[in-house]
Chain A
Amino acid sequence: MLTGSKTTFKVRQLVPDMKERMLSHSSFHTRGRDVLGLCCLPGECVLQRAVLVRKKLSVKEGSGWLSGTLFCTHFRVAFVPQDSQRPDDNADPVLLGDHDVALASIDKVVAVGPSRTKLVTPNGSLKFTPEELVLYCRDLRVFCFLFDRLTPDAQAMEITYTIAKTYQPLKPGTLLSFQNSALGSIEMKQFLSNRRRDPNMNWFECSADWEQELERAGATGWRVSSVNDRFEMSTSLPRFTVVPHRVLDTELKKTFAHFNDGRIPRWCWRHPRGSDLLRMASFQNNIYHEKDDIRNLELVLFGGQQMCVIVDLGEEMPSPADIQVAHTRLRTLCLGDISSSVSVPDDKWLSTLESTRWLDYIRCFLRKAAEVACLLRGGHMTVVLQESEDRDMNCVVSSLVQVMCDPHCRTVAGFQSLVQKEWITAGHKFLSRINYHRDCDKEEAPVFLLFLDCVWQLWSQYPTRFQLTEEYLLALHDSVQLPLFSSFLANSQRERCRRSQHLPQSYTPVNGLRELPMGEPEEPVDPPFPPVWDWALQYSSSRRARFTQPVSQAACIPPVLNGNLNTNLERSWHSDGLPGSVFLLSRSSFSNPSNLLPWRSGNSGSYWKSHRRAPSSEGLSGLERLIRACSLSDPSENTTTLHDPFEPLLPLLIGPCVRVWRGCYLRGALHPQAFSHPMSSCSQHPLDQLAFEVQELGEKLAQASVRHPEHQTRQQEPRRLESNLNQNANNGTFLFSSRSSQHQPPASRGSTRPTNLTRAPWTASEPPRSAQRISGKHTFLFGHQQESQSVQRYIPSPSAKYPKHAGNTH
């Protein structure tokens, strides 16, 4: 066994045996020991290694085989390619190299011998020398290592045994030792405590964060309440909740008792057209004594709006157990039955895939979210998602709705904020659902993974409307299986807070939690867990660069102010909603059952004394029209989605459009042979060439029209040409320009070339918007993602909002 010293982070090698020495002399003479250099984490121990191993590369990596050395440590199986660059000793530690896999991610270890295949269990023995080692991971990746004939047999045997013994069929004890091997060393703790959080995203941990969100969404009439600051009102809710302005904290406190686990209706998001999205648990304790009680409940539900639609997610949506079953079937289907190496025959693949029901469930959530998104478009109402516990389906639907409607949520920072808001602080039971400890099998359900799949579906239907990429979704998908992140290692914000403080639950410092020192010295048990969003800790910079699109939102045109569409829609239903109406949306249709709001049913409540009138049923048809108008069948809506950034991305749900996420689930299956073309240097990329021509033309146009001094369009593409097209995808997957390539803001560029481009006569004759659009295109001819610009684009300033009541004549 080898021990990595804590100070150098380098592997100290055993004296190599004779055979090995021969090898290193013959083939690696010049490079010597660096060939084997694994950059260990502080405190990481190498348990075993094997030389002359080849790793099978996936499509994205360019296929083929890569030679190098295989290591097994307490924390991971690492693979160091032969000609990889010498790791920089001073660089910040990265948990996993590009070719590594954490032990905790491994699901099964299979050794392939000359004539047979064996599933290697921790206690099992091998009767043959493996030629190939296959690691099946919980995140559905498959790592395949091939031992060379020159790999010492003992090494091949030993490393297989070691991995099989050390990898985690996770149990409480092993989990902790795994966590400690990764993060437990003093250096690592120190390092982690000095990490800075990503300031670009919203963490939703203090009231200012929520205030910021309210402002971003332009939501008025709502305030942040800290009534649950010490988790006294509800143990699973976050410390801060957003509630209507008009409800005082003292009044609010009384409402908690009426909801399961105290999960009262809380504000999630406001649609630019003025509707609010809320979520809550089911009603309970249906005894309403006081008039005030009811008044408060009504206030909390309606916000300042006139109408309320409750969307019941309990019945229609698949249960967590259903999701778990479907996911298990999908896994088996995609990976095949490993131990017997039998897989579904190819000609039955489609129907077997269908029978997993996974895609049905995906469709179900997408449909529900699309309905809610359409509803929100109508304006003037609260849409309240209701689920008995408010901790699973509500998370999926509320966040999907926001991904569909809010372009900000399609950026990396925005998406992370969204997950933070609707999942992590909202109390999705990550710890139980992922079942890291293997102690709550009944609760296990990959609800979050299902959500990621839904987002992927949207992404694959509208790739240009997202700043984040499939690569990002995959990274997040894989990180879920790694029990190292505070984000996933708790069931609620309360648990998270307690762990990070080691303080009794009732005590909360006045200044909030952030100021507290990390980790109490007397508690060596848990290492400090970083949030999953600290990507630099997990992935190399080259992989992180692929998290965002190089060319983003080129087609996105600034929002149409008060386009025709608004007025149309609003007129279509708005006349019939009486103030105070409440409806239930269930199975794509609306109703208003009398017991929808328990306090309104029967005669016991005092509600009707003040508000007595016949329940409105005319509102129904209007709402249904609203849903139908945009629900997926009306093609005329599709045309508008291309132009208005706030039009929801409505997913297509017909058969061929909801697809299996091949890039994720079939990573381990047979791959198409990838085609890594070297970019031929002599011939220009067609895109390049075209851009050049357009630019030339534009200049000529400018010159031709130089006498008109007010011309404003500017040519900005020329300098980007060279830097940009080397991004041409090797695999054709994507073109990732280096983020670092400098792009000067247009203003400064303008000053360097002040000569040209005055307004051409033709633009003068056109409405100004089209001119703007054209110049907008120019800036994106070869768009690098410009941070400043993208921020502006994604976060609409309040002034860019729709006039909320525009066109509404009622």
Chain B
Amino acid sequence: MASAPIAPYSSSPLGNSSSQHTSRESLKMEPLAGFVSLPGEERIIDKDIIYMCPFNGALKGKVFITNYRLYFKSTDTETPVTLNVPLGVISRIEKMGGATSRGENSYGLDITCKDMRNLRFALKQEGHSRRDIFDILFKYAFPLSHGMQLFAFLSQEKYEENGWNVYEPMEEFRRQGLPNNEWRVTFINKSYELCDTYPTILVVPYKAPDEDLRRVGTFRSRCRIPVLSWFHKQNHAVITRCSQPLVGMSGKRNKDDERYLDLIREANGTTKLTIYDARPNVNAVANKATGGGYEGEDAYQNAELVFLDIHNIHVMRESLKKLKDIVYPNVEESHWLSSLESTHWLEHIKLVLSGAIQVADKVSSGYSVMVHCSDGWDRTAQLTSLSMLMLDSYYRTLRGFQVLLEKEWISFGHKFASRIGHGDKNHADQDRSPIFLQFIDCVWQMTKQFPTAFEFNERLLVVILDHLYSCRFGTFLYNCESARDSNDVRTKTVSLWSLINSDTSSYTNPFYTPESSRVLYPVASMRHLELWVNYYIRWNPRIQHQQQSPVEQRYKELLALRDQYLKKLEELQLTDSAPSSTHLTNSSTPNAATPNQHITHLQTPF
């Protein structure tokens, strides 16, 4: 897979299309003025500061803060170090040291980031020099806590493609072959009356009338009733998703729910419906105390229940925290493997993947499945989307992957706002958890094991994660569709897919060979899972972003060459146009088009 050509010093994950080929060398050439600001970005403050780089020691330089980013550039001209941090990435800002603390560079700011790094700045001790910068950072990094807007609403970016058009639910269901005489589309939730965290368009068993859906809703946590996620065209098995049943301590039953599950099973005429409860058995039992629970054997005679042992958001958060401790800033040598093992991060990845494999396997052998965890928006989203990725090659294309995220994660109400904490100062919020990151990691593991099966490359995954935090695009903002609607996200912000789809060639895997029919079963074993070094350890300048295979490298070179040629051509024709335009027309062949035509021609083909 491609690795993003991220220059080690500029910690800029967010190259826009013009600067994405920036090599380390060209970075040095960059004028001291710094970055290219985004339309709508405004400079707030500049300040002389010392960046306490964990790799290079203290670096004097200047920091620029805009309403979108923190940008640092060292004044050392020999090896200039730059930092380019979108404010959205910041989870916590703390003052370190006081005006009287001793020791060099002991007075300053300590910034914790969501993307696996910490930043430390030191300032002059005299004159409360950090007060203004701290206040400004605090305000702009956490705009929602200060009654301000996220940058996505201030951005004036324009793109050729409109990413909001990527996902049309009806179109996607039609692609799957729905509705048909087993499954129907219902608009019961068109104004979020049935369930405020579900999308407006739902697909349910043909035989289940809308009134039944409402009654089922009363028995499912937050009314997240079982609805269809994916339909197997050949064997008509389906993946459905929902939240836990409200069984409670008393072991309540609900006839409507039981009949509804039977309808799901009957739709393709199999004898058993498999219910995957993503949680460990004990957690599911414990949930009874708070009114939840799981489908009991007695009540659901035609269903089998399987627990997938995936732990909850708190466990994942702690695991990632441990991982961060061992990858930033220093990475061990000889005890690395046991340290990695003790974070359990890969073990959790393994459990998620193997859960998804079970789901995919069941569906491809003809049985419908239902997946839920507690609320059906974290582990459930992981499992359904991963198993769909295994089953359906469409989701392995650049476009299809966007659809998958829009559908299973964004529209079905994965609580991005709560899990990431966009613009919110409460860094210790117990709702935060790297569930989506974990999912992207699983996808990365799959791309590693099936290098030719995915149309997109590693860079796409990294860029998605960067903008998960950056708040530059509206894509990952808010917890659910209803909130997005009421905040006019689609009209007031730009979609991340606009950025991606305006420059698809940077995200294309040159090894990709389309094939439709195969189900991909990755090996979920510690022996074959790897830590995603290019993401988790990318701030470490010692990690050279892993060298690409020769072919991939060639692909990159060709891309660069193409851009270069285009530029030269343009220059040539500009300079030529005045003195010798006739000459040019004489010499060009009929198909030699103007540079403008070239550009459009060349950007379409992938």
Report the minimal beta-carbon distance from B572 to chain A, rounded to whole angstroms. 5
Chain B, 341-363, CB within 8 A of any chain A CB: 341, 346-347, 350
9-residue interface stretch from B10-18, B95-103, B256-264, B503-511 = B503-511
Q: A654-B336, A777-B561, A781-B558 are in contact. Are A464 and B511 (CB under 8 A)?
A: no
Judged by a CB distance under 8 angstroms, whether B29 is at the interface is no
Contacts of A689 in B (CB 8 A): 605-606
Q: Which residues 781-804 of A sit at the B interface, judged by CB distance below 8 A?
A: 781-783
Chain B hits for A761, CB < 8 A:
572, 575
A474 to B8, CA, bound (A): 33
New contact pairs (5) apart from A349-B525, A656-B543, A666-B527, CB-CB < 8 Å: A687-B510, A694-B562, A700-B598, A733-B451, A734-B551
A760 contacts chain B at the CB level, 8 A cutoff:
yes
- CB<8 Å pairs between A and B, sample of 12: A354-B337, A461-B546, A463-B548, A550-B551, A658-B333, A670-B528, A672-B522, A697-B565, A700-B592, A704-B588, A729-B452, A732-B451
Q: B547 to chain A: which residues have CB within 8 Å?
A: 461-465
Bound-state CA distance A549–B555 (Å) is 16
Interface string of A623-661 (1 = CB under 8 A from B): 000000000110110110000000000001111111100
Q: Quick check: which of B82-90, B202-210, B269-277, B512-520 contacts chain A, the rest being far away?
A: B512-520
Query: Which single member of A554, A670, A677 contacts B557 (CB below 8 Å)?
Result: A554
Residue of B nearest to A728 (CB): B513
Q: Are B572 and A632 in contact (CB under 8 A)?
A: no
Cα A635 to Cα B329 with chains together (Å) = 14
Tell me, yes or no, whether B584 is within 8 Å of chain A by CB.
yes
Cβ contacts under 8 Å, A694 to chain B: 558, 561-562, 565
Q: How far is the CA of A647 from the CA of B513 in the complex (A)?
A: 36
Residues of A within 8 A of B573 (CB): 704
A555, B341: Cβ atoms under 8 Å? no
Q: CA A339 – CA B472 in complex, angstroms?
A: 58
6 closest A-B pairs by beta carbon, nearest first, are: A655-B336, A732-B451, A635-B541, A732-B452, A551-B550, A354-B337
Give B558's nearest chain A residue, CB to CB: A690
B572 and A690 form a contact (CB under 8 A): no
A690 and B341: CB pair below 8 A? no
State whether A780 and B332 are in contact (beta carbons under 8 Å apart), knowing that A350-B526, A632-B542, A680-B513 are contacts in the complex. no
CB distance from A687 to the nearest CB of B (A): 5
Tell me if B22 counts as interface (CB < 8 A to partner A): no
> Are B510 and A685 in contact (CB-based, < 8 A)?
yes
The answer to whether A686 touches B508, judged by C-beta atoms less than 8 angstroms apart, is yes
Contact A638 B513 (CB under 8 A): no
Interface positions of A from 736 to 789, Cβ below 8 Å from B: 760-762, 774, 777, 780-783
Number of A positions contacting B (CB below 8 A): 83
**Which residues of the other chain, A, contact B572 by a CB distance below 8 angstroms?**
701, 704-705, 760-762
The answer, yes or no, to whether A176 is at the interface (CB within 8 Å) is no
For A777, the chain B residues whose CB sits under 8 A away are: 557, 561
Cross-chain contact A635 with B337 (CB below 8 angstroms) = no
Q: How far, in Å, is A105 (CB) from chain B's closest CB?
A: 23
Q: Are B569 and A690 in contact (CB under 8 A)?
A: no
CA distance A703 to B587 in the complex (A): 6
Judge if B158 is at the interface, Cβ distance under 8 Å: no
Known contacts A350-B337, A686-B508, A698-B565; decide if A782 and B554 are in contact (CB<8 Å): yes
Bitwise interface map of A from 297 to 334 toward B, beta carbon under 8 Å scored 1, else 0:
00000000000000000000000000000000000000
| Nearest CB on B from A53, distance (A) | 25
Closest Cβ neighbor of B551 among chain A residues:
A735
A707–B581 Cα distance when bound, in Å, is: 13
Q: Is the CB of A662 within 8 A of B523?
A: no
Q: Is the CB of B554 within 8 A of A670?
A: no
A550, B550: Cβ atoms under 8 Å? Answer: yes
Interface check B180, CB cutoff 8 A: no
Q: How far is the CB of A331 from chain B (nearest CB, A)?
A: 14
Q: How far is the CA of A245 from the CA of B8 in the complex (A)?
A: 47
Whether A686 pairs with B562 at a CB distance below 8 angstroms is no
**Which residues from A are CB-within-8-Å of B584?**
704
Is B24 located at the chain interface by the 8 A CB criterion? Answer: yes
Contact A728 B511 (CB under 8 A): yes
| A548: min CB distance to chain B, Å | 11
A515 CB-CB contact with B under 8 Å: no
Q: Does B600 contact A (CB under 8 A)?
A: no
Closest CB in chain A relative to B271 CB, distance in Å? 28
The B571-588 residues at the A interface (CB cut-off 8 A) are 571-573, 575-576, 580, 583-584, 587-588
Complex Cα gap A349–B333 (Å): 17
- List chain A residues, Cβ under 8 A from B452: 675, 677, 729-732
- Cα(A351)–Cα(B561), bound, Å: 46
Residues on the B chain within 8 Å of A705, using CB:
572
- Contacts A550-B550, A672-B528, A673-B523 known; A635 to B588 CB distance under 8 Å? no
Tell me if A706 counts as interface (CB < 8 A to partner B). yes
CB of A183, distance to nearest CB on chain B (Å): 37
A670 partner, pick from B511, B518, B523, beta carbons under 8 A = B523
Q: Which of A654, A666, A734 contacts B549 (CB 8 A)?
A: A734
Residue interface bits A679-703, CB-to-B below 8 A is 1, else 0:
1100101110111011001101101
Closest chain A CB from B513 CB (angstroms):
4
CA distance A347 to B520 in the complex (A): 23
Is A348 part of the contact surface with B, judged by Cβ < 8 Å? yes
Given known A347-B341, A686-B510, contact A656–B537 (CB-CB < 8 A)? yes
Contact residues of A with B, CB < 8 Å? Answer: 346-351, 353-354, 359-360, 363, 461-465, 549-552, 554-555, 632-633, 635-636, 638-639, 652-659, 662, 666, 669-673, 675, 677-680, 683, 685-687, 689-691, 693-694, 697-698, 700-701, 703-707, 728-735, 760-762, 774, 777, 780-783
Bound Cα distance from A527 to B82, whole angstroms = 66
B257 CB to nearest chain A CB (Å): 36
Report which residue of B550, B571, B572 has the largest number of chain A beta carbons within 10 angstroms of its beta carbon: B550
B350 touches A464 (CB 8 A): no
Contact at A635–B550, with CB atoms within 8 Å? Answer: no
**CB of B181 within 8 A of chain A?**
no
Partner of B333, one of A654, A666, A781: A654
With a cutoff of 8 Å between Cβ atoms, the chain A residues found around residue B528 in the complex are 662, 666, 670, 672
**Could you tell me if B55 and A353 are in contact, using CB atoms closer than 8 angstroms?**
no
Q: Contact partner of A671 among B511, B523, B564, B568, CB < 8 A? A: B523
- The answer to whether B602 has its CB under 8 Å from any CB of chain A is yes
Q: How far is the CB of B26 from chain A (nearest CB, A)?
A: 11
CB pair B523 A760 closer than 8 Å: no
* A347 pairs with B562, CB closer than 8 A: no
With a CB–CB cut-off of 8 A, which chain B residues contact A465?
547
Closest Cβ neighbor of B1 among chain A residues: A732
For residue B164, CB closer than 8 A to chain A, the reply is: no
A655's nearest neighbour on chain B, judged by CB, is B336
B576–chain A nearest beta-carbon distance, Å: 7
A348-B341, A762-B568 known; A657+B451 contact, CB < 8 A: no
A678 proximity list for chain B (CB < 8 A): 513, 515
Known: A687-B558, A690-B555, A704-B572. A653 touches B333 (CB 8 A): yes
B596 is an interface residue with CB less than 8 A from chain A: no
Which listed residue, B333, B334, B566, B587, touches A697 by the CB 8 Å rule? B566
Query: Do the beta carbons of A635 and B542 come within 8 Å of each other?
Result: yes
In chain B, what residue has the closest Cβ to A683? B514
Residues B334 and A360 in contact, CB atoms below 8 Å apart: yes
The answer for the CA separation of A359 and B335 in the assembled complex, in Å, is 10
Q: Complex: how many Å from CA A348 to CA B566?
A: 54
Contacts of B511 in A (CB 8 A): 728-729, 732
A671: chain B residues at CB < 8 Å are 523
**Cα A694 to Cα B598 with chains together (Å):** 11
Measured CB to CB, the closest approach of chain B to A212, in angstroms, equals: 30
Inside 8 A of A683's CB, which chain B residues have their CB? 514
The chain B residue with its CB closest to the CB of A702 is B587
Partner of A706, one of B523, B546, B558, B587: B587
With a cutoff of 8 Å between Cβ atoms, the chain B residues found around residue A638 in the complex are: 8, 541-542, 544
CA distance A656 to B542 in the complex (A): 11
A675 lies within 8 A of B562 (CB): no
Name A346's contact: one of B331, B515, B526, B537 (CB within 8 Å).
B526
